[in-house]
Amino acid sequence: MTTDTYCGNCGEPIYGEDSANRQPCPKCGSKKRKYSLELNASVSVSATVTAQVFRPASAFLDVAHTLANSDDRMDWNLCVVAALVACEVSTEKTLVEVARATQKESLVKSQRDSDRTFKMQNPKTRALYKRLTGDDIESPPEEWDEYVRVKNLRNGIVHEGQQADQKSARDCLRVATRFVKRLESHKPAK
């Protein structure tokens, strides 16, 4: 895994910077940063086939769990991102499956056509979720506030160069796991 750091304002490459003691950009003076991350993975193929249903939200939560227990601060940032991707995947999958089971696919199609995505921070997605499941995702308010807080942390990491510590990564994983479990409790039985 390699990471490159750039000025978040002018794009000038920043070399050898200690994130705990950030210096102004030599070109424009900004302390904003953008990070480029390259991941390389090796894949092995096994001759064993298992009959297991792939559940993408769970897969992202499993990755986030591994990253949360790492000693690498970059892994903690990736943990937060993976945990919130699990929430987004679960939101869409739950809406689609509940709509299909209740024969209300047109509601999901209408929103997909207008917004192209299903993110719970969108009031239209929350309204659609409540209409399909009867569950008010914003209640209890303290759980909703926790979700918004970790969503904001994810946005800060992705868009502003914010850094997560291990405690906040683990907290994010806890909130995301609870969120996904709540959504998936509304999926129809297969």
Note the helical H segments in 51-104.
56-68, 73-101
- Contact between 38 and 1 under an 8 Å Cβ cutoff? The reply is yes
57-111, pLDDT tens digit by residue? 888 999 999 999 988 888 999 999 999 999 999 999 999 999 999 999 888 888 7
Give residue 73's pLDDT: 83
- Does domain 54-190 fall under CATH 1.20.120? My reply is yes
125-171, pLDDT tens digit by residue? 999 999 999 999 999 999 999 999 999 999 999 999 899 999 999 99
CB-side exposure of 116: number of CA atoms within 13 Å?
A: 0
1-41: CATH architecture = Single Sheet (2.20)
Note the pTM of the prediction, 2 decimals. 0.69
Q: What are the residue ranges spanned by the domains of the chain? A: 1-41, 54-190
Angle between helices 56-68 and 166-184 (to 10 degrees): 160
